[in-house]
């Protein structure tokens, strides 16, 4: 909301510095986003009067204007078509700083020869003065403008750009802001005095109003003026509309806009003679009914639209836009002026549906008070009579089905203290509330209580807490003390899930993984690319109004975001990349009971349930997904330029589980996104908790990845539940162990797991570690060699070489019998 | 005999002087002090000498032996040091060669900031809770005093799963972390002190300062005798922890439908220190948090008596903090996950 300081000064004396005032308003909840000084660059610009206009001898479109500046007259070249003798105009001397009409840049005005005529000065357009973008015509000032006066003294102003919060529709008006300033600076407010003459003829003999939908139209006021003359508004009125950023149109439209800006109440004028049957009906539109609105568009309406109709047809969409059929134009001689209160929901829906956001709809949408229309209507009627002439019919139409009695809110200084921590006296409270226009009465009860009646323009005031805010914001939030929370500390509970996630994160970071965070929303295309099947495993939840195609579905896997990130980074990273994300995936689920707004306890009626099967909130599952790509080591002179492979991924999973104290097995996986034969399910206690493997080359290709990529994916919650068991300490062995290395030659199909299982089944075997895997020379075709280090250990005694030899012989026999393994010669 | 001994000693020392390597030293020892050396022969022949002479020659021979032995030890020490020095000379490394690279991982800057925020509040006795990203209209709006068609809905451009904003059973992506205020208060009774970090979503075209997804941290404290002054205290302390003790903090009136009185916390601009610049839109201040006293209607809805209990709530955007701190000028960098960006934190 843009407000001119000069305009504000009509209603309140502003004695403090505008910068200070801006700070005060901001602190009190009315944020000043900008403070623009109009005219601070207008040096050498004064008010002149056009004394003569002659055509330029050498140019058709140019004139020579002689401007009287008081002490002297200057003749300059002027191209504006609207210049005429007698006008008061802004005149810039050579040396003035103006905006160049063509380039938009600030430039110093120089004497120039235009088509042979020397021009020392210029008659200015709005654009040249930096007031608006209008460069077609010169700015014409009010006839009362004093000749010779510096323009800055006459038109200079300060414009505040205020951010009005949605609870304060009253401050979408100059008077509303003036009230705030009055209360903040403890100055009285002067409202315009409203008085005008009326004709003999009563208004209800000329028009009737019928509200069919009293819930949607709480009040409808109208006045009627005959014999008016539609013309341009006076310069002062035009100037005020411009200060807000509005274009002047004609006196009738300008007055209704002016009063809307002044009071916050939108108004609408109908050409009275164009109203069929001389009646106004406020009703819902009939389905399929059409209206051509003032913007020339034909609009088809639904029953969800509120219209103002005459006997036959809609003449306006209530609160949004008038109809062309009753438009006020230069031929209009009588108008019906409407000032009404409409239900904000229907206006909001209509504005969205018809795409008709306007200054009026913004105000209705925020919820205006039904007491406002009458005040605003009288003010507009008075101004119209002054500026457009004519006579007002006697009285005012006032259909007010929604009238309610004002109710009082009780406030005590104790309550102010309880909520704000600020000690305020009763006198101070009374002073502030009265300054804001509240009617206050002390109840005489103890502790002291004030009964507060809310003024009509403050429909946001509903409860005591609202009043507390009013009092403390006028005093200033900077006066609120700073205290330390002394309330009792709630019992502190552990948050295992959070700690667990932190542990996972820190572990992976310690191993050189970079954490990433990717969008929860993705595209169907990406989800499909993750699997060789065309359909994703789980149908993802769809956004009804996605912003982009790329963000239309809630992710059902972390892989898409991870692989996209990997592909993007592969383009510039030279060496190995380790990435991971811990985040939620969203799995749709149905629930037979949706407990919405279920409150604690058994307050009946509070629990809203639906017994039908209905889609509920999705399951939000925390997952961990990590990827490895490129070389195992950073590019370095040391060694090892090998690429990450399956066993790096498996190693990460193994070590992670080991750190959590979990024992796992790995079984061949049928994961559709991974390479068959190079992927494994991670199993703990018979339950799959994740998967590791090499990314399927088709998937890698679809994500434009280069080189092999290995993945680790784990269900965080499952892992946490498995890892929650308490750890037990194992005593450190007191007796020495015996180590034996064996090299087995074995069929290629035999897995290491098979050999390991047999070795570990023998007594006293503590650990078996594979330290070499060899095929090639010296090993027959179809065979491989495992080199295994076996550690024998007893918790009770020192082992002898003899007994270990004996066990090992049995072990080798067993390996031979079961797997056909022989010792390598 | 005596003269022979002196010559012998002189000769041996002379030879020793010419030894330049450790391994030659052993052959010198064998030659001059060994079993077949002249000195040993002299010592062996002592027995055949008359007593008087035996005493004289014996004393000198022994002295010669001791002297040569100590010369040997000295020479050995000298040669060993010399050897080590030359060995080290040969083994010198180019210590300017790069070290063995250790893989270095990092937490995402948003995670780092979240951890920092959470640790400040947990130290003040706040518990951390998380809530669902997909919410009911009821929790996201209705229960927070934002019924359908309420003008405050304009403050939250919403991504819907069920497109009707006319029912509280519509699902949506939460537009703020505030729904967890309701979920927490439905379950817990005062005293409550809770913070909620999490992702929130907006129907918004992205640019350098707008994202369709970002993180917030919500805070809530409910008990008897909690005031706006306590809120001011907590949040000033928080801002000082994050931005330094010297940083000026502003506490002003603002509006959010679910608090009353409402407030906003801003810090003095990190870039211009209050003078006004592009970063702070020439206001000198940077908004950090929205806050206020929990609205009595919200408390009533979760069956907490607003006449007995009071409390405050606050919420803040997370990305803004590293953006301000590190001078990051584009919010999209966070979820673009370019390693050249992420590795800087
Ligand atoms: Zn700044």
Non-local CB neighbours of B113 within 8 Å, separated by 6+ positions: B318, B319, B321, B322
* A490 belongs to a structural domain: no
Q: Name the E strands within A439-594.
A: 439-442, 449-453, 514-515, 521-522, 553-554, 577-587, 590-591
Q: What percent of chain B has pLDDT over 70?
A: 99
Distance of CA A632 to the CA centre of its chain: 44
Predicted local distance difference test score (pLDDT) of residue A171: 94
pLDDT, tens digit (0-9, with 9 covering 90-100), for B215-243: 999 999 999 999 999 999 999 999 999 99
* Res. A297: pLDDT tops 80: yes
Structure tokens at A451: 């009964």
Q: Which has the minimum average pLDDT: A231-240, A518-527, B42-51?
A: B42-51
B109-342 has which CATH code? 3.30.930.10
Q: Strands A208-211 and A279-284, how do they pair? A: parallel
Q: Are residues A171 and A124 in the same domain?
A: no
Mean pLDDT, range A331-357, rounded to an integer: 90
Give the Å distances, CA to CA, from A714 to A625, A626, A690, B59, B126.
6, 9, 4, 88, 30
Closest CA to A218 of A346, A361, A323, A310: A346
Taking the CA of residue A315 and the nearest CA in chain B, the distance in Å comes to 25
Q: Are residues A513 and A647 in the same domain?
A: yes
* Dist CA B275 CA B277 (whole Å): 7
Give residue B159 CA to ligand 1 midpoint distance, Å: 32
Out of A466, A473, A568, the one facing B253 most closely (by C-beta) is: A473
Q: Write out the DSSP string of A798-820.
A: PPPHHHHHHHHHHHHHHHHHHH-
Phi, psi of A710 (to 5 degrees): -115, 140
Give residue B240 CA to ligand 1 midpoint distance, Å: 18
pLDDT, tens digit (0-9, with 9 covering 90-100), for A406-453: 789 999 999 999 999 999 999 999 999 999 999 999 988 877 899 999
Residue numbers of the domain that contains A140? 45-155
Helix (H) or strand (E) holding B173: strand B171-173
Out of B97, B143, B225, the one facing A637 most closely (by C-beta) is: B97
Out of B154, B229, B253, the one facing A422 most closely (by C-beta) is: B229
Phi, psi of A784 (to 5 degrees): -140, 170
Q: Where are the domains of chain B?
A: 2-90, 109-342
DSSP lists the bridge partners of residue A620 as: A586
Contact yes or no for A477 and B253 at CB 8 A: yes
* Res. A726: pLDDT tops 80: no
Non-local CB neighbours of A9 within 8 Å, separated by 6+ positions: none
* Dist CA B345 CA B339 (whole Å): 10
Taking the CA of residue A519 and the nearest CA in chain B, the distance in Å comes to 7
Predicted local distance difference test score (pLDDT) of residue A730: 85
Predicted local distance difference test score (pLDDT) of residue A611: 40
Sign (positive or negative) of CA dihedral A756, A757, A758, A761: positive
Contact A485, B190 (CB under 8 A): no
Taking the CA of residue A518 and the nearest CA in chain B, the distance in Å comes to 5
- B112 in reach of chain A (CB within 8 A): no
Structure tokens at A642: 């090998």
Out of A168, A349, A517, the one facing B108 most closely (by C-beta) is: A517
Chain A positions in Cβ-Cβ contact with residue B289 (cut-off 8 Å): none
Mean pLDDT, range A255-269, rounded to an integer: 95
- Reduced to 3 states (helix: H, G, I; strand: E, B; else coil), residue A413 is helix
Out of B143, B193, B229, the one facing A420 most closely (by C-beta) is: B229
Q: What percent of chain A has pLDDT over 70?
A: 96
Closest CA to A598 of A609, A610, A613: A609
- CATH number (domain holding residue A423): 3.30.56.10
* A611 belongs to a structural domain: no
Chain A positions in Cβ-Cβ contact with residue B162 (cut-off 8 Å): 544
* Dist CA A324 CA B48 (whole Å): 153
Confidence of residue A613 (pLDDT cuts 50, 70, 90): very low
Confidence of residue A595 (pLDDT cuts 50, 70, 90): very low
What is the DSSP-derived secondary structure letter of residue A88? Answer: E
- Reduced to 3 states (helix: H, G, I; strand: E, B; else coil), residue A276 is helix
Q: Which residue has the tokens 């100590």?
A: B70
End-to-end CA distance of chain A: 93
Q: Are residues A128 and A181 in the same domain?
A: no
Sign (positive or negative) of CA dihedral A797, A800, A804, A807: negative
Chain B positions in Cβ-Cβ contact with residue A165 (cut-off 8 Å): 254-255
Phi, psi of B183 (to 5 degrees): -60, -40
Q: Are residues A35 and A57 in the same domain?
A: no
Q: What is the dihedral of CA A425, A429, A430, A434, to 10 degrees?
A: 160
pLDDT, tens digit (0-9, with 9 covering 90-100), for B29-88: 888 888 888 888 888 888 888 888 888 888 888 888 888 889 888 888 888 888 888 877
Closest CA to B256 of B248, B247, B265: B265
Taking the CA of residue B10 and the nearest CA in chain A, the distance in Å comes to 56
Taking the CA of residue B223 and the nearest CA in chain A, the distance in Å comes to 6
Predicted local distance difference test score (pLDDT) of residue A610: 43
Residue among B335, B337, B340 with most chain A CBs within 10 A, to mutate: B337
* A613 belongs to a structural domain: no
Residues 256-285 of B with CB under 8 A from A: 257, 260-263, 281-283
- CATH number (domain holding residue A339): 3.50.40.10
Q: Are residues A136 and A211 in the same domain?
A: no
Contact A263, A375 (CB under 8 A): yes
Predicted local distance difference test score (pLDDT) of residue B51: 84
Q: Write out the DSSP string of B52-79.
A: HHHHHHHHHHHHHHHHHHHHHHHHHHHH
pLDDT, tens digit (0-9, with 9 covering 90-100), for A170-188: 999 999 999 999 999 999 9
Predicted local distance difference test score (pLDDT) of residue A155: 86
**How many distinct structural domains can be found in chain A?**
6
Confidence of residue A351 (pLDDT cuts 50, 70, 90): confident
* Res. A598: pLDDT tops 80: no
Out of A165, A498, A516, the one facing B342 most closely (by C-beta) is: A516
Confidence of residue A602 (pLDDT cuts 50, 70, 90): very low
Contact A25, A160 (CB under 8 A): yes
Predicted local distance difference test score (pLDDT) of residue B342: 96
Q: What percent of chain A has pLDDT over 90?
A: 66
DSSP lists the bridge partners of residue A225 as: A335, A392
pLDDT, tens digit (0-9, with 9 covering 90-100), for A379-413: 999 999 999 999 999 999 999 988 888 789 999 99
Q: Write out the DSSP string of B208-238.
A: TTB-SEEEEEEEEEEETT--HHHHHHHHHHH
Predicted local distance difference test score (pLDDT) of residue A607: 38
Give residue B197 CA to ligand 1 midpoint distance, Å: 28
* Res. B17: pLDDT tops 90: no
Q: How many helices (H) and strands (E) does chain A have?
A: 21, 43
- Reduced to 3 states (helix: H, G, I; strand: E, B; else coil), residue A54 is strand
Residues 174-193 of B with CB under 8 A from A: 186-193
Chain A positions in Cβ-Cβ contact with residue B229 (cut-off 8 Å): 420-422, 480-483
Predicted local distance difference test score (pLDDT) of residue A407: 81
* Res. A593: pLDDT tops 50: no
Chain B positions in Cβ-Cβ contact with residue A606 (cut-off 8 Å): 303
Closest CA to A434 of A747, A186, A724, A620: A186
Confidence of residue B167 (pLDDT cuts 50, 70, 90): low
* Dist CA A694 CA A674 (whole Å): 6
Confidence of residue A608 (pLDDT cuts 50, 70, 90): very low
* Dist CA B86 CA A706 (whole Å): 51
Give residue B321 CA to ligand 1 midpoint distance, Å: 15
Q: How many residues does the structure list for chain A?
A: 825
Mean pLDDT of all residues belonging to chain A: 90
Residue among A514, A601, A640 with most chain B CBs within 10 A, to mutate: A514
Out of B168, B205, B283, the one facing A596 most closely (by C-beta) is: B168
Confidence of residue A594 (pLDDT cuts 50, 70, 90): very low
Q: Which residue of A has its CA nearest to B154?
A: A166
pLDDT, tens digit (0-9, with 9 covering 90-100), for A744-792: 999 999 999 999 999 999 999 999 999 999 998 888 989 999 999 999 9
* A429 belongs to a structural domain: yes
- CATH number (domain holding residue A125): 2.40.50.140
Q: Are residues A365 and A383 in the same domain?
A: yes
Q: Are residues A114 and A170 in the same domain?
A: no
Confidence of residue A590 (pLDDT cuts 50, 70, 90): low
* Dist CA A16 CA A299 (whole Å): 50
CA-angle at A823, arms to A821 and A825, nearest 5°:
135
* Res. B15: pLDDT tops 60: yes
Predicted local distance difference test score (pLDDT) of residue A603: 37
* Dist CA A596 CA B132 (whole Å): 14
Phi, psi of B161 (to 5 degrees): -95, -45
pLDDT, tens digit (0-9, with 9 covering 90-100), for B300-326: 999 999 999 999 999 999 999 999 999
Predicted local distance difference test score (pLDDT) of residue A788: 95
Predicted local distance difference test score (pLDDT) of residue B262: 97
**Other Cβ atoms within 10 Å of B260 Cβ, number:** 26
Helix (H) or strand (E) holding A500: helix A496-510
* Res. A596: pLDDT tops 60: no
Name which residue leads in pLDDT, A429 or B164.
A429
Q: Which residue has the tokens 């229907």?
A: A346
Give residue B271 CA to ligand 1 midpoint distance, Å: 5
Confidence of residue A494 (pLDDT cuts 50, 70, 90): confident
HSE toward the beta carbon, residue B92, CA cutoff 13 A? 6
Closest CA to B292 of B190, B187, B214, B178: B178
* Res. A573: pLDDT tops 90: no
Give residue B244 CA to ligand 1 midpoint distance, Å: 17
Predicted local distance difference test score (pLDDT) of residue B168: 63
- B151 in reach of chain A (CB within 8 A): yes
Q: How many helices (H) and strands (E) does chain B have?
A: 12, 9
* Dist CA A743 CA A786 (whole Å): 6
Q: Are residues A148 and A286 in the same domain?
A: no
Contact yes or no for B225 and A418 at CB 8 A: yes
Out of A165, A485, A520, the one facing B199 most closely (by C-beta) is: A520
* Res. A599: pLDDT tops 50: no
Confidence of residue A604 (pLDDT cuts 50, 70, 90): very low
- CATH number (domain holding residue A686): 3.30.930.10
Q: Which long-range contacts (CB under 8 A, 24 or more apart) does A763-771 make?
A: A763/A807, A764/A792, A764/A793, A764/A794, A764/A799, A764/A803, A764/A804, A764/A807, A765/A790, A765/A791, A765/A792, A765/A807, A765/A811, A766/A737, A766/A791, A766/A792, A766/A793, A767/A791, A767/A793, A771/A741
Confidence of residue A592 (pLDDT cuts 50, 70, 90): very low
* Res. A606: pLDDT tops 60: no
Confidence of residue A636 (pLDDT cuts 50, 70, 90): confident
Q: Name the E strands within A499-593.
A: 514-515, 521-522, 553-554, 577-587, 590-591
Out of A519, A573, A620, the one facing B213 most closely (by C-beta) is: A519
pLDDT, tens digit (0-9, with 9 covering 90-100), for A797-807: 999 999 999 99
- CATH number (domain holding residue A792): 3.30.70.380
Taking the CA of residue A785 and the nearest CA in chain B, the distance in Å comes to 32
Give residue B278 CA to ligand 1 midpoint distance, Å: 6
Closest CA to A261 of A353, A343, A159, A155: A159
Confidence of residue A600 (pLDDT cuts 50, 70, 90): very low
- B221 in reach of chain A (CB within 8 A): yes
Final residue in a domain of this structure, among A337, A367, A399: A399
* Dist CA A534 CA A529 (whole Å): 8
Q: Write out the DSSP string of A595-606.
A: -BSPPSTT-TTT
User: How many A/B residue pairs have CB atoms within 8 Å?
Assistant: 278
Q: Are residues A680 and A749 in the same domain?
A: no
pLDDT, tens digit (0-9, with 9 covering 90-100), for B242-282: 999 999 999 999 999 999 999 999 999 988 988 888 888 88
pLDDT, tens digit (0-9, with 9 covering 90-100), for B89-145: 777 788 888 888 888 899 999 999 999 999 999 999 999 999 999 999 999 999 999
Give residue A181 CA to ligand 1 midpoint distance, Å: 27
Q: Are residues A54 and A15 in the same domain?
A: no
Contact yes or no for B255 and A512 at CB 8 A: no
């Amino acid at each position: 909301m843009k407000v001119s300081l000069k305009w504000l000064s009509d209603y309140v004396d502003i004695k403090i510095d505008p910068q200070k005032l801006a700070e005060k308003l901001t602190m009190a909840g009315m944020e000043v986003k900008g403070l623009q000084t109009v005219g601070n660059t207008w040096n050498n610009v004064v008010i002149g009067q056009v004394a003569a206009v002659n055509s330029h001898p050498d140019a058709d479109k140019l004139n020579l204007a002689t401007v009287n500046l008081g002490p002297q007259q200057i003749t300059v070249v002027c191209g504006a078509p609207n210049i005429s003798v007698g006008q008061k105009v802004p005149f810039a001397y050579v040396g003035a700083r103006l905006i160049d009409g063509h380039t938009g840049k600030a430039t110093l005005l120089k004497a120039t020869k235009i088509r042979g005529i020397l021009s020392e000065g210029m008659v200015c357009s709005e654009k040249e003065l930096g007031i608006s973008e209008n460069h077609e015509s010169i700015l014409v000032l009010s006839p009362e403008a004093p000749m010779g006066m510096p323009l800055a003294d006459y038109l200079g102003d300060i414009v505040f750009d205020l951010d009005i919060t949605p609870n304060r529709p009253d401050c979408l008006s100059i008077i509303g802001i003036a009230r705030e300033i009055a209360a903040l600076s403890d100055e009285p407010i002067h409202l315009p005095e409203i008085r005008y003459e009326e004709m003999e003829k009563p208004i209800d003999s000329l028009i009737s109003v019928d509200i069919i939908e009293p819930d949607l139209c709480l009040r409808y006021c109208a006045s009627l003026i005959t014999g008016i003359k539609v013309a341009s508004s006076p310069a002062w009125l035009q100037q005020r509309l411009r200060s807000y950023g509005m274009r002047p149109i004609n006196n009738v439209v300008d007055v209704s806009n002016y009063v809307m800006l002044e009071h916050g109440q939108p108004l609408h004028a109908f050409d009275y003679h164009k109203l069929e049957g001389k009646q106004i009906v406020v009703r819902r539109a009939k389905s399929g009914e059409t209206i051509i609105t003032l913007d020339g568009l034909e609009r088809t309406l639904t029953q969800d639209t509120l219209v103002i109709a005459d006997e036959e047809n809609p003449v306006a969409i209530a609160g949004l836009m008038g109809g062309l059929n009753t438009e006020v134009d230069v031929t209009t001689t009588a108008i019906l002026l409407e000032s009404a209160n409409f239900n904000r929901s229907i206006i909001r829906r209509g504005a969205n549906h018809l795409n008709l956001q306007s200054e009026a709809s913004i105000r209705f949408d925020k919820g205006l008070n039904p007491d406002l229309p009458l005040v605003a209507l009288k003010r507009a009627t008075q101004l119209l009579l002054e500026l457009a002439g004519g006579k007002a019919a006697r009285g005012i139409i006032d259909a007010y089905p929604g009238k309610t009695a004002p109710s009082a809110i009780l406030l005590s200084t104790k309550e102010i203290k309880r909520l704000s921590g600020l000690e305020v006296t009763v006198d101070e409270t009374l002073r502030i509330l009265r300054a804001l226009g509240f009617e206050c009465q002390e109840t005489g009860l103890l502790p002291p209580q004030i009964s507060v009646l809310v003024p009509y323009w403050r429909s946001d005031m509903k409860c005591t807490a609202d009043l507390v805010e009013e009092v403390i914001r006028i005093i200033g939030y900077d006066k609120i003390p700073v205290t330390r929370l002394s309330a009792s500390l709630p019992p502190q509970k552990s948050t295992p899930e959070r700690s667990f996630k932190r542990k996972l994160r820190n572990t992976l970071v310690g191993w050189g993984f970079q954490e990433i965070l990717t969008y929860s929303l993705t595209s169907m295309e990406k989800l499909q690319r993750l699997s060789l099947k065309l359909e994703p495993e789980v149908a993802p939840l769809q956004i009804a109004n996605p912003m982009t195609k790329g963000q239309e579905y809630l992710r059902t896997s972390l892989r898409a975001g991870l692989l996209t990130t990997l592909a993007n980074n592969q383009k510039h990273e030279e060496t190995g990349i380790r990435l991971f994300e811990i985040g939620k995936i969203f799995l749709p689920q149905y629930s037979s009971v949706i407990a919405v707004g279920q409150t604690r306890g058994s307050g009946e009626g509070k629990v809203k349930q639906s017994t039908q099967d209905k889609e509920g909130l999705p399951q939000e599952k925390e997952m961990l997904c990590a990827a490895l790509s490129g070389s195992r080591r950073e590019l370095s002179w040391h060694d090892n330029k090998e690429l990450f492979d399956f066993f790096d991924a498996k190693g990460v999973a193994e070590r992670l589980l080991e750190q959590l104290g979990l024992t796992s097995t790995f079984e061949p996986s049928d994961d559709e996104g991974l390479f068959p034969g190079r992927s494994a399910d991670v199993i703990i206690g018979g339950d799959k908790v994740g998967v590791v493997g090499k990314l399927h080359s088709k998937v890698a290709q679809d994500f434009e990845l280069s080189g092999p990529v290995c993945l680790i994916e784990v269900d965080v919650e499952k892992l946490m539940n498995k890892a929650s068991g308490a750890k037990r300490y194992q005593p450190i062995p007191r007796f020495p162990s015996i180590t034996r290395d064996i090299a087995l030659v074995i069929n290629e199909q035999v897995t290491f797991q098979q050999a390991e299982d047999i070795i570990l089944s023998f007594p006293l075997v503590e650990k078996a570690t594979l330290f070499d895997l060899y095929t090639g020379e010296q090993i027959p075709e179809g065979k491989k060699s495992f080199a295994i280090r076996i550690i024998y250990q007893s918790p009770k005694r020192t082992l002898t070489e003899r007994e270990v030899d004996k066990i090992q012989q049995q072990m080798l026999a067993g390996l031979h019998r079961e797997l056909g393994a022989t010792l390598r010669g | 005999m005596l003269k022979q001994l002196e010559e012998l000693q002189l000769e041996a020392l002379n030879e020793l002087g010419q030894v330049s390597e450790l391994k030659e030293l052993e052959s010198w020892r064998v030659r001059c002090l060994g079993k077949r050396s002249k000195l040993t022969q002299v010592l062996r022949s002592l027995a055949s000498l008359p007593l008087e002479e035996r005493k004289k020659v014996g004393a000198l021979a022994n002295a010669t032996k001791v002297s040569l032995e100590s010369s040997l030890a000295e020479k050995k020490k000298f040669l060993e040091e010399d050897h080590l020095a030359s060995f080290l000379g040969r083994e010198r490394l180019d210590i300017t060669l790069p070290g063995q690279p250790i893989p270095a991982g990092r937490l995402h800057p948003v995670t780092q900031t979240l951890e920092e925020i959470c640790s400040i509040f947990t130290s003040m006795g706040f518990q951390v809770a998380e809530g669902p990203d997909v919410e009911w209209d009821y929790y996201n709006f209705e229960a927070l005093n934002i019924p359908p068609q309420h003008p405050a809905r304009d403050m939250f451009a919403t991504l819907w799963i069920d497109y009707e904003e006319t029912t509280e059973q519509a699902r949506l992506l939460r537009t703020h972390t505030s729904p967890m205020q309701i979920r927490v208060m439905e379950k817990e009774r005062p005293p409550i002190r809770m913070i909620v970090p999490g992702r929130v979503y907006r129907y918004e075209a992205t640019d350098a300062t707008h994202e369709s997804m970002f993180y917030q941290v919500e805070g809530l404290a409910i008990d008897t005798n909690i005031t706006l002054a306590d809120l001011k205290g907590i949040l000033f302390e928080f801002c000082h922890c994050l931005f330094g003790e010297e940083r000026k903090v502003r506490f002003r009136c603002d509006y959010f439908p679910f608090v009353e009185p409402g407030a906003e916390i801003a810090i003095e601009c990190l870039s211009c220190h209050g003078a006004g610049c592009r970063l702070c839109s020439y206001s000198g201040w940077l908004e950090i948090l929205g806050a206020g006293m929990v609205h009595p209607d919200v408390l009533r809805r979760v069956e907490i008596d607003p006449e007995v209990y009071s409390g405050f709530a606050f919420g803040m955007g997370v990305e803004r903090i590293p953006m301000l701190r590190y001078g990051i000028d584009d919010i999209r960098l966070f979820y673009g996950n370019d390693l050249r960006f992420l590795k800087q934190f």
